[in-house]
């Protein structure tokens, strides 16, 4: 459905190979232990896939949102935690690429597979309203001083780079923000808790505390006060469409898991299989239809992003909530269709069910997106 050309197809075949060999075999253990999928990230790095969206001039593969979504879909089918880590990495990369003069060396490191990145935007104080950090930078002899309570930072303590948001020094509006690159070796930040989520349990999405954390001002990832625009115009399309691709991938996994359970589990006293029950076949069919519908919607939004017009912003807002809520419904049907076998954790279905709930509460949350879409339709300002 992603309508890939020959070169793009080859990339996705490589993603599939890496996912089958090095991601899928560890997914259940990553989930059970709630541990970071280090072997999966290393395999993506080794295959050059951390540099998927980095321009060729910095040694990357130079691919865009279409290939990134197809890759995220494939990875999410095997391990949603790894897919979310990869999505946050792709989003961090979009900030690097938008402001390359600050991070040329880092871009080359990403392309070499030596640098994983992520976004540290959400805060204890402004919760899911990621566009409004409550921390405010101070400046000290060409250095930026940050004191912040960041929450839910995917790959916290594991990533080499963190795109950190702060209210600009002297800025009075909550959206007067600037983005900086914080490096793992910088002093002044700690990962302040361990991630133990319902789903996405491999994510390491932990809080980070920054205390008098000093960063050279040259590590700004946008012009001063241009953080809000960068968040919405540069990162949001990658995040929303990529998040939709993760939801679609999880829905795909739930559908295929249900298909294989219904066609293999037997009712011996009737000499039949579960799929001989019409109710269960209809449930499987609905899962298939909804998953295909969500992926088709996503691919039409990819086309809109590649050829933007006045409707594109609305479609970008729609993409995440449409896929998230459809995938949640698909997983719910799968839990019903597979019965106790799903509930008792004999199938990967229940992991899909838990993982799929993250998208609705990841900012911009489904509630907020419906509100934004409604406001846009009624001609109102979003903020
Ligand atoms: C698995 C996972 C990974 C994450 N990774 C990252 C990351 O890498 N970087 C990062 O910065 N953040 C990350 N986050 C944080 C995420 O983006 C949200 O900030 C976080 O989930 C918000 O949770 P909260 O309890 O603070 O929500 P709250 O803001 O307290 O929201 C509670 C409820 O209120 C609703 N609500 C809030 N505002 C409105 C409104 N204006 N209108 C209508 N309803 C509203 C929400 O939809 C939600 O249902 C991650 C979260 C998860 C779950």
pLDDT tens readout for residues 159-168: 999 999 999 9
d(CA 145, CA 210): 9
**What's the CA dihedral at 49, 205, 365, 118 to 10 degrees?**
-40
Residue 91 scores a pLDDT above 90: yes
Are residues 191 and 66 in contact, defined by beta-carbon separation less than 8 angstroms? Answer: no
Residue nearest to atom 9 of ligand 1 (CA): 153
pLDDT at 339: 96
For CATH 1.20.140.10, list the domain ranges present in the chain: 228-377
Q: Is the pLDDT of residue 345 over 90?
A: no
> What is the distance in A from the centroid of ligand 1 to the CA of 3?
33
Hunting for tokens 């990369």 — which residue is that? Answer: 93
Global pTM reads: 0.98
Per-residue pLDDT reduced to its tens digit, 269-324: 999 999 999 999 999 999 999 999 999 999 999 999 999 999 999 999 999 999 99
CATH number of 118-224: 2.40.110.10
Say how many Å lie between the CA of residue 370 and the centre of ligand 1: 14
Ligand 1 nearest atom to the CA of residue 365, by list position: 47
As a whole number of angstroms, the distance between CA 261 and CA 353 comes to 16
Ligand 1: residues with CB < 6 A are: 88, 118-122, 127-128, 130, 152-154, 197, 200, 203, 205, 358, 361-363, 365, 367-368, 371
Nearest-angstrom CA–CA distance, 64 and 48: 15
CATH number of 6-116: 1.10.540.10
Please give the number of the atom of ligand 1 that sits closest to the Cα of 358.
53
Closest ligand 1 atom, CA of 129? 29
| 103-118 mean pLDDT | 98
Q: 37, 91, 131, 152: which to mutate for ligand 1, most atoms within 8 A of CB?
A: 152
Asked whether the beta carbons of 136 and 171 are under 8 A apart, the reply is yes
CB 166 within 8 A of CB 178: yes
| 207/214 Cα distance (integer angstroms) | 19
Pick the CATH number of 228-377 from 3.40.50.300, 2.150.10.10, 1.20.140.10, 1.10.3720.10: 1.20.140.10
Question: Nearest to residue 199, comparing CAs of 76, 305, 117?
Answer: 76
**3 state DSSP class of 125:** coil
Query: Where in the chain is CATH 2.40.110.10?
Result: 118-224
Residue-wise pLDDT for 225-261, tens only, equals 999 999 999 999 999 999 999 999 999 999 999 999 9
C-beta atoms surrounding 357 within 10 Å: 18
Q: CATH 1.10.540.10 occupies which residues in the chain?
A: 6-116
Residue by residue, DSSP assigns 46-85 as HTTGGGTTS-GGGTS----HHHHHHHHHHHHHH-HHHHHH
Sequence-distant (6+) residues with CB within 8 A of 126 are: 132, 133, 134, 174
In angstroms, rounded to a whole number, what is the distance separating the alpha carbons of residues 153 and 195? Answer: 10
pLDDT value of residue 198: 97
How far does the centroid of ligand 1 lie from the alpha carbon of residue 163, in Å?
A: 18
Ligand 1: nearest atom to the Cα of 121: 11
Mutation pick for ligand 1 pocket among 129, 148, 363, 383 (CB with most ligand atoms within 8 Å) = 363
């Amino acid at each position: 459905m992603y309508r890939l050309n020959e070169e793009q197809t080859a990339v996705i075949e490589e993603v599939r190979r890496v996912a089958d060999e090095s991601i899928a075999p560890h997914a259940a253990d990553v989930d059970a232990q709630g541990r970071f999928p280090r072997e999966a990230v290393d395999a993506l790095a080794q295959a050059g896939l951390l540099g998927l969206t980095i321009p060729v001039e910095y040694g990357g593969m130079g691919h865009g949102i279409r290939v990134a979504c197809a890759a995220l879909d494939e990875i999410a089918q095997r391990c949603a935690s790894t897919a979310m880590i990869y999505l946050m990495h792709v989003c961090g990369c979009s900030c690097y690429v938008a402001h390359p003069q600050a991070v040329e060396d880092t871009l080359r490191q990403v392309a070499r597979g030596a640098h994983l990145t992520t976004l540290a935007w959400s805060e204890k104080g402004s919760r899911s309203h990621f566009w409004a950090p409550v921390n405010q930078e101070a400046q000290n002899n060409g250095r930026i001083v940050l004191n912040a309570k960041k929450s839910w930072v995917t790959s916290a303590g594991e990533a080499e780079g963190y795109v950190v948001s702060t209210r600009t020094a002297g800025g009075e509006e909550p959206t007067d923000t600037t983005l900086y690159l914080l490096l793992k070796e910088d002093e002044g930040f700690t990962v302040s808790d361990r991630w133990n989520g319902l789903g996405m349990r491999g994510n390491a999405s932990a809080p980070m505390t920054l205390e008098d954390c000093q960063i050279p001002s040259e590590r700004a990832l946008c012009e001063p006060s241009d953080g809000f625009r960068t968040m919405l115009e540069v990162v949001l399309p990658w995040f929303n469409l990529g998040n939709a691709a993760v939801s679609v991938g999880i829905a795909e996994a739930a559908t295929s898991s249900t298909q294989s359970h219904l066609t293999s589990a037997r009712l011996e006293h009737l000499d039949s299989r579960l799929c001989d029950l019409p109710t269960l076949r209809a449930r499987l069919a609905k899962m298939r239809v909804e998953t295909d519908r969500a992926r088709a919607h996503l691919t039409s939004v990819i086309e809109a992003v590649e050829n933007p017009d006045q409707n594109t912003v609305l479609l970008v807002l729609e993409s995440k909530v449409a896929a998230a809520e459809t995938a949640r419904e698909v997983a719910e049907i799968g839990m019903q269709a597979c019965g106790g076998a799903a509930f008792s954790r004999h199938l990967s279905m229940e992991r899909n069910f838990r993982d799929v709930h993250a998208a609705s509460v990841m900012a911009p949350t489904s509630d907020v997106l419906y509100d934004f879409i409604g406001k846009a339709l009624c001609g109102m300002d979003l903020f």
